[in-house]
Amino acid sequence: MTKEYHISVIPGDGTGPEVVAEGIKILQTLADKFYFKLNFTYYDIGGEHYKATGEILPENILESIAESNAIYLGAIGHPDVKPGILEKGILLKLRFYFDQYINLRPVKLYEGVETPLKDKGPSDIDFVVVRENTEGLYAGAGGCLKHGTADEVAIQESINTRKGVERCIRYAFEYCRKRNQRKKLTLCGKTNVLTFAFELWERTFYEVAKEYPDIETDYAHVDAICMWMVKNPEWFDVIVTDNMFGDIITDLGAMIQGGMGIAAGANINPEGISMFEPIGGSAPKYTGKNIINPIAAISAAQIMLETIGEPMAASLIEESVIRVLRDDLKDVAAGKMGYSTQEVGDLVISYIKGNSKQ
Ligand code: IPM
Ligand code: MN
């Protein structure tokens, strides 16, 4: 019987719809090639929709998405909407609602892509960040008192539960083993200052490590991690960290792998519905110009296929992306690629189909 997958698609704001369109084109090509079926359901949510209707992410959409196998997301964020509304109301809401407790972010420099790091190349920059995705400073705990007065107080607490920390660390060990490269897992924390939160992380890390004698363990403070990511990125294989630190170090990671046009991520619930997205934002200034790089969205589609159970189709995306980056694109930045957004998608498809360039 033909395998069939239901994909919820949220193109979102800015350049989200443009890059998602390329990803969908590629997914469809692979479904035809490998004889599986993809049913796409589009959801019109995001900044434009919010401005027009006041609606952010209604319950009935969440219920409908819950019936699907995966979520493919473009970008959420609008210059006219106050920061926090869409981020909390859509992106974080989806992550929390579907308990996508892992944010998996590969940092891989492909051949032909320029890194700002001097004397570093593809063999030096190839690691994965496992970011906890439902707790920490993102849990929304805290509040304010006497707002707007001279006596105001703002509190934002980092929530770290044993269960949340342990499942993330366990996932990272399993992932590191499966990845089967250096077999080294680095915990990124701040045990010298955040003595409550990271004492729990560190203790859990070394406890779980006992079950993985084949994995080398290491620890570094987050500030040192930033330094080493620039100076010696080849030291890393898999890094596990909390939500906030993971957010920050993966932007640094995106830059050393060639920029936001390249970086893809996955919000994973290993037992549930996961969500795949390019990690760059909605890039309002490039909207509608057909110049943004769709590779990040295409690589997000790759991780989606890997996760839902189509590994062969997934690796064909990666092989094709490798060729496009190595042989075709001049530069990976918007407007400098030498190709339009759609042409980059077409190039990937031509390699998937086994043709040389059109
Ligand atoms: C990311 C983004 C989000 C985050 C924002 C938009 C809420 O920066 O996916 O990294 O902080 O997680
Ligand atoms: Mn971020």
Instruction: Kindly give the distance from the C-alpha atom of residue 153 to the centroid of ligand 2, in angstroms, as a whole number.
Output: 26
Please report whether residue 275 resides in a domain.
yes
So what's the pLDDT on residue 358?
44
Domain-ending residue, one of 257, 276, 302 = 257
So what's the pLDDT on residue 355?
63
Ligand nearest to the CA of 103: 1
Residue of 92, 242, 247 best suited for mutating to test ligand 1, as the one with most atoms within 8 Å of CB: 247
Range of the domain at 227: 115-123+159-257
In order along its 358 residues, the chain shows pLDDT tens digits of 789 999 999 999 999 999 999 999 999 999 999 999 999 999 999 999 999 999 999 999 999 999 999 999 999 999 999 999 999 999 999 999 999 999 999 999 999 999 999 999 999 999 999 999 999 999 999 999 999 999 999 999 999 999 999 999 999 999 999 999 999 999 999 999 999 999 999 999 999 999 999 999 999 999 999 999 999 999 999 999 999 999 999 999 999 999 999 999 999 999 999 999 999 889 999 999 999 999 999 999 999 999 999 999 999 999 999 999 999 999 999 999 999 999 999 999 999 999 654 4
Q: In the chain, how many domains are there?
A: 2
Long-range contacts of 204-212 (CB under 8 A, 24+ apart): 204/162, 204/165, 204/166, 204/169, 205/169, 205/240, 208/166, 208/169, 208/170, 208/173, 209/173, 209/185, 211/173, 212/173, 212/176, 212/177, 212/185
Please report whether residue 211 resides in a domain.
yes
Closest atom of ligand 1 to CA, residue 251: 10
Dist CA 31 CA 39 (whole Å)? 10
Closest atom of ligand 1 to CA, residue 77: 6
Does ligand 1 come within 6 angstroms of the Cβ of 168?
Answer: no
Question: Residue 245's domain is classified under what CATH number?
Answer: 3.40.50
Report residue 15 as tokens. Answer: 């350049």
Closest atom of ligand 1 to CA, residue 95: 12
Report residue 43 as tokens. Answer: 């959801």
Instruction: Kindly give the distance from the C-alpha atom of residue 45 to the centroid of ligand 2, in angstroms, as a whole number.
Output: 20
So what's the pLDDT on residue 1?
74
Domain-ending residue, one of 237, 257, 277 = 257
Question: Residue 102's domain is classified under what CATH number?
Answer: 3.40.718.10
Same domain for 357 and 263: yes
Please report whether residue 151 resides in a domain.
no
Dist CA 202 CA 207 (whole Å)? 9
Please report whether residue 129 resides in a domain.
no
Same domain for 244 and 290: no
Domain-ending residue, one of 229, 257, 285 = 257
Q: Which residue has the CA at smallest separation from atom 9 of ligand 1?
A: 279
Same domain for 192 and 88: no
So what's the pLDDT on residue 277?
97
Does ligand 1 come within 6 angstroms of the Cβ of 137?
Answer: no
Same domain for 198 and 275: no
Instruction: Kindly give the distance from the C-alpha atom of residue 327 to the centroid of ligand 1, in angstroms, as a whole number.
Output: 32
324, 348 contact by CB (below 8 A): yes
- Indicate the pTM of the whole model: 0.96
Please report whether residue 152 resides in a domain.
no
